[in-house]
């Protein structure tokens, strides 16, 4: 089944992804980002890339889609650098599964 890929985040960070053929949705406020993600999840988007700066504001929305097979919400850094939220999520997964951090 064919799926689409979306990028959500502040305008400066997401624009370059347009050249790759991703669907770009600029969201200026966390509220807007949340609505965008919810509406994208309803459609057949398989992967949603979200900037970390935005992800910081809406952790509960991301958590809601963690248990679903799709969409996969993947955090990407923006031009100001990584906020380490993506890394923290990996560490959380390790701790949840193994019981302690082995990385």
Partner 1 sequence: MARLNVKPTRMELSNLKDRLAISTRGHKLLKDKQDELMRQFIDLIRENNKLRDEVEKELTEAMRAFVVAKSLLNESFIEELFAIPDKSVSLNIEEKNIMSVMVPEMNFSVNEDEKESEMQYGLLNSNSELDDSIDRISNILPKLLKLSEIEKTCQLMADEIEKTRRRVNALEYLKIPQLKETIHYIQMKLEENERASITRIMKVKDMGT
Nearer to partner 1, 58 or 72 (CB): 72
Residues that bind partner 1 in the complex, under the rule CB under 8 A: 1-5, 12-13, 15-22, 46-47, 49, 66-67, 69-70, 72, 74, 76-79, 81-82, 86-87, 89-90, 93-94, 96-98, 102-103
Please state the closest distance from residue 32 (CB atom) to partner 1, in A.
19
d(CA 73, CA 49): 6
CB 48 within 8 Å of CB 6: yes
Q: At a CB cut-off of 8 Å and minimum separation 6, what does 40 contact?
A: 6, 8, 25, 48, 71
Q: How far is the CB of 31 from partner 1 (least distance, A)?
A: 24
Q: Pick between residue 31 and residue 80 the one whose CB is nearest to partner 1.
A: 80
* Residue with smaller CB distance to partner 1, 56 or 87: 87
- Region at 99 (left for phi over 0; alpha for psi -120 to 50; beta for the rest): left
């Amino acid at each position: 089944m064919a799926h689409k890929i979306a990028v959500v985040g502040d305008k400066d960070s997401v624009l370059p992804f347009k050249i790759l053929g991703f669907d770009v949705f600029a969201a200026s406020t966390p509220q807007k980002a949340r609505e965008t993600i919810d509406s994208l999840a309803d459609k057949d988007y398989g992967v949603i890339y979200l900037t970390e700066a935005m992800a910081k504001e809406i952790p509960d929305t991301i958590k809601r889609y963690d248990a679903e097979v799709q969409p996969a919400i993947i955090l990407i850094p923006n031009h100001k650098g990584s906020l380490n939220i993506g890394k923290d999520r990996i560490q959380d997964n390790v701790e949840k599964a193994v019981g302690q951090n082995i990385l």
